[in-house]
Structure 1
Amino acid sequence: MEHEKINYVEYAAHDIKATKQFFTKAFNWVFTDFGESYTAFTNAGLNGGFYQADKKSSAENGGALIVLYSYDLEKSYQKVKAAGGKISKEIFPFPGGRRFQFIEPSGNEFGVWSKEEAAS
């Protein structure tokens, strides 16, 4: 752990089970339950957790947007859809790469970006 550096992130989740299933299937995150109303995740680049609550985080509402990196944006896009994620912003270019944003089963918004150019 580094002094005064971001160490952990927490999200609300109204359906912890569905959220766990989604992130396990789409990104191979690993979960450890602490009772019925909290689960911690690892293997995600930054450790964190989901707590039981009827809240959600979205960029539209001013929430922080956690963005994952992908070596293959189209493959990650397909994995998100296959796992039950809803695309909130289709793939778009931005200075430095391309990205898309999605909503996981509990309503939290995340993004995925890549440096790569679009496949021709």
Structure 2
Amino acid sequence: MSENHHKLHYIELPAVSVTAMKTFYGNVFGWTFTDYGPGYAAFHGAGVEGGFDESREYIAPHPAGVFVILYSDDLEVTEAAIAQAGGKISTPTYGFPGGRRFHFHDPSGNELGVWTEVKE
């Protein structure tokens, strides 16, 4: 297993405005950004990589806060372990450039994601 297996790996913060988020976190904390379209920007320099997402397709600003994404060397094995432990899959596995991921609810109802890299 890699050293990233089952470790916090990436955090997405819901955003009403990616531009406002970049301004705030850039000015306050000195983070830098990589834009991936008009509604998404990755942030760097926060200690863990992450992004701001204003799509609201699967996360939206909410008092609960951020969307945590874990890494897995084997997405299917991790998904099965989550189900076996009482978690509920909320978004089935889907692909995106460079990887695949799914979302789940833990027993308390918190939603997290798990992703794996797909080398192209």
Q: Report TM bin, short chain.
A: 0.3 to 0.5
